[in-house]
């Protein structure tokens, strides 16, 4: 493993009445890595990010960027960071272009107009860039936020819920772009409460709940051991064949039938590698399958069991 570009050691934030809203959070991010910070609402993701970028003081703990301690030389550290914290906000009485210019001027290394054009093209705001930000939609603002964070060519990107307000196409583009940046050696810390998204976007995920880190998962490792990977898949058949299908599954000890939805969908827990076999089995038995849908993945299950929250069930939707 290469040297950590971002090294967070035992971060803690104590608010009034001695309550710790972030406690003992430590993690490292490596060069070219996309690291997910996952947690339900109120877990302390934004608070952690605010402490990293210096918007709020750390009650204790340290942050170092490329080996430089934030307390010793915050200017050097901040030069290397590009960030969106919570919703990106802009001067809505100015155009997108003028907003970016404000940031371009603040960059220590000069930002050329060409660079601005490139970035704008990348986030696909060419058509609207000279309109007042007032007229932008949420997704357009999010794109402008990404452009702004990238403008000064930081080596570390910190994005707090960047997919908020983006349409599936926008999310995919962001994902592809972050991957491209990662290949160029730029590391990204991205927070989200949507696991499915994290899984597609990140190399590794750290999971937070109630201010603490509760787990760390390398997504790539999971993908490599596909044989072992257990997942939950829904097979939809006809109502009149459901009993037949059920009997077929119950005969197989490898597969666990979790429940039946709407009298026509079998929700199964099985090894990922066996999905085609199960399908074949249905077909051979003359059972017509209308849809196969992957429900939760193991990481999702893990996340759910760890964080134990109900409001995470919206996860399955965004599988763009």
Partner 1 sequence: MITLIQNEWIKLWSKKRTWIFALFILLITIGIAFFFKSVIFDMDAANDENWEQDLEEEIAVQEEIMADEDADEWQVENAQMTIQQNEEMLASGINPNKTNNMIFLEETFPFLASFITLFSVIVASSIVSSEIDDGTMKHLLIRPYPRWKFITAKLITTVGFSLSLIVVLLVSNLLIGTILLGTGSLSTEIMVNNFETTPYLSTVGEVLPARVGLYVLNVLMFIIISFSVSILFRSQTLAVGIGIFILFGTNIAQSFNVLLADTSWYQYIFLPHLSLPEYAIRDEILPGVGLAFSIMVLSVYALVFLGACFTYFQRKDFAE
Ligand X SMILES: Nc1ncnc2c1ncn2[C@@H]1O[C@H](COP(=O)(O)OP(=O)(O)OP(=O)(O)O)[C@@H](O)[C@H]1O
Contact positions toward partner 1, by CB under 8 A? Answer: 47, 50, 53-57, 74-79, 81, 83, 85-94, 98, 102-103, 105-106, 108, 148
Give the separation between CA 149 and CA 184, rounded to whole angstroms.
Answer: 16
Instruction: Single out the residue of 46, 2, 3 nearest to residue 25, CA to CA.
Output: 46
Query: Of how many residues is the chain composed?
Result: 320
Nearest to ligand X of 88, 96 (CB atom)? 88
Kindly report the number of other CB atoms within 10 A of residue 243's CB atom. Answer: 11
Q: Where are the alpha helices (DSSP H) in 45-95?
A: 45-53, 74-79
Interacting positions 106-165 with Mg ion (CB under 5 A): none
Nearest to ligand X of 43, 52 (CB atom)? 43
- Partner that binds at residue 98, options Mg ion, ligand X, partner 1, none, CB closer than 5 to 8 Å by kind: partner 1
Q: Which span (32-40, 44-52, 200-208, 272-280) binds Mg ion, by CB under 5 A? A: 44-52
- Partner that binds at residue 108, options partner 1, Mg ion, ligand X, none, CB closer than 5 to 8 Å by kind: partner 1
- Sign of the CA dihedral running 260, 262, 264, 265: negative
Largest CA distance in the chain: 71
Interacting positions 45-64 with Mg ion (CB under 5 A): 46
Q: How far is the CB of 280 from partner 1 (least distance, A)?
A: 55
- Beta pairing partners, 268: 233, 257
Could you give the angle at the alpha carbon of 37 between the alpha carbons of 96 and 147, nearest 5°? 15
Please tell me whether residue 164 binds ligand X under the rule CB under 6 A: no
* Size, binding site for ligand X by CB under 6 A: 11
Please tell me whether residue 36 binds ligand X under the rule CB under 6 A: no
Q: How far is the CB of 162 from ligand X (least distance, A)?
A: 12
Q: How far is the CB of 187 from ligand X (least distance, A)?
A: 20
Give the separation between CA 283 and CA 277, rounded to whole angstroms.
Answer: 10
Question: Six-digit token pair at 291?
Answer: 């849809």
Please tell me whether residue 193 binds ligand X under the rule CB under 6 A: yes
Q: How far is the CB of 72 from partner 1 (least distance, A)?
A: 14
Please tell me whether residue 88 binds ligand X under the rule CB under 6 A: no
Give the separation between CA 131 and CA 144, rounded to whole angstroms.
Answer: 12
- Beta pairing partners, 283: none
Binding site for Mg ion (CB under 5 A): 46
Site residues for ligand X per CB under 6 A: 15, 21, 39, 41-47, 193
């Amino acid at each position: 493993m290469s040297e950590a570009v971002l090294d967070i050691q035992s971060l803690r934030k104590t608010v009034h009445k001695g309550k710790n809203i972030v406690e003992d959070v430590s993690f490292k991010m490596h060069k070219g890595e996309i690291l997910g910070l996952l947690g339900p609402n109120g877990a302390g993701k934004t608070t952690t990010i605010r402490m990293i970028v210096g918007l709020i003081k750390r009650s204790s703990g340290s942050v170092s960027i490329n080996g430089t301690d934030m307390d010793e030389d915050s200017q050097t550290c901040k030069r290397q960071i590009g960030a969106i914290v919570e919703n990106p906000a802009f001067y809505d009485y100015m155009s997108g272009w003028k907003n970016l210019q404000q940031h371009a001027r603040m960059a220590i290394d000069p930002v050329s107009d060409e660079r601005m054009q490139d970035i704008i093209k990348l986030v696909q705001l060419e058509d609207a860039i000279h309109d007042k930000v007032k007229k932008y939609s949420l997704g357009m603002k999010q794109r402008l936020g990404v452009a702004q964070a990238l403008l000064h060519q930081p080596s570390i990107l910190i994005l707090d819920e960047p997919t908020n307000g983006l349409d599936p196409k926008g999310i995919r583009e962001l994902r592809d772009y972050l991957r491209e940046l990662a290949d160029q050696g730029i590391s990204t810390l991205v927070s989200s409460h949507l696991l499915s998204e994290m899984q597609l976007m990140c190399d590794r995920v750290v999971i937070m709940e109630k201010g603490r880190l509760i787990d760390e998962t390398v997504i790539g490792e999971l993908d490599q051991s596909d044989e072992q990977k257990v997942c939950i898949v829904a097979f939809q058949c006809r109502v009149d064949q459901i009993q037949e299908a059920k009997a077929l599954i119950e005969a197989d000890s490898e597969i666990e039938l979790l429940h039946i939805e709407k009298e026509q969908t079998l929700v199964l827990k099985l090894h990922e590698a066996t999905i085609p076999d199960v399908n074949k089995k249905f077909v051979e038995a003359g059972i017509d399958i209308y849809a196969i849908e992957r429900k939760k993945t193991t990481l999702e299950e893990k996340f759910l069991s760890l964080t134990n929250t109900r409001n995470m069930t919206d996860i399955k939707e965004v599988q763009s």
